[in-house]
Amino acid sequence: MKRFWLLIICILFGIQSFSQQTAAKKVYHPEADASKAIADAKKSAAKNKKHVMIFVGGNWCTWCMRLDRFLNENDTLKTFLNEYEVVHVNYSKENKNEKVLHSLQEPQRFGFPVIVILNEKGQQIMTQNTSFLEQGNGYSAERIADFLKIWTYKKINP
């Protein structure tokens, strides 16, 4: 009987752990209003003298999730990323955000994930194919740091 209850407890903890991991993995939100998120980020960027960094991808995309995890697990990269107003724009079968992506000059043509940077006025200044930020079987902290440093508001507007 003790084994039975031990097994039940293990199963319950396993389910809880799995559901927390699944919930934590949702970075892109098909139901989100990407136009509004970008508009809000533009306002905040103008106010705070920052640029807007838009990550386009989906929860289905291994490299999208890998990039998000890589950025959030590296304190140096998180510090550089704080120099931007960050928006995640979903691209999936549920919501391709075609109108928004058209206004951003179809960045999905580079594959996923792709990064679009807008200046403090909301003008598009860069679209980055993230394959250039990879090294070996993953992302390069050095390449990403270099990329994040050169597109900040302070670098372009010294």
Domain ranges in the chain?
A: 27-156
Token output for 29: 């939100």
Mean of all residue pLDDT scores within the chain: 90
What share of the chain in percent tops pLDDT 70?
85
**CATH topology classification for 27-156:** Glutaredoxin (3.40.30)
Is residue 90 a contact partner of residue 28, using CB atoms and an 8 Å limit?
yes
Residue carrying the six token digits 């890589």: 70
Instruction: Supply the pTM of this predicted model.
Output: 0.84
Is residue 83 a contact partner of residue 154, using CB atoms and an 8 Å limit?
yes
Question: What is the three-class DSSP state of 37?
Answer: helix
Question: Average pLDDT, stretch 106-128?
Answer: 97
Please give the distance of CA 66 from its chain centroid, rounded to a whole number.
10
Residue carrying the six token digits 């970075």: 27
What share of the chain in percent tops pLDDT 90?
84
Residue 146 above 60 pLDDT? yes
- For residue 4, what pLDDT band results from cuts at 50, 70 and 90? low
Angle at 152 between CA 149 and CA 154, to 5 degrees: 110
Residues 5-61: tens digit of each pLDDT: 555 665 655 555 444 444 457 999 999 999 999 999 999 999 999 999 999 999 999
Question: Average pLDDT, stretch 92-112?
Answer: 98
Token output for 84: 């931007």
pLDDT value at position 13?
A: 56
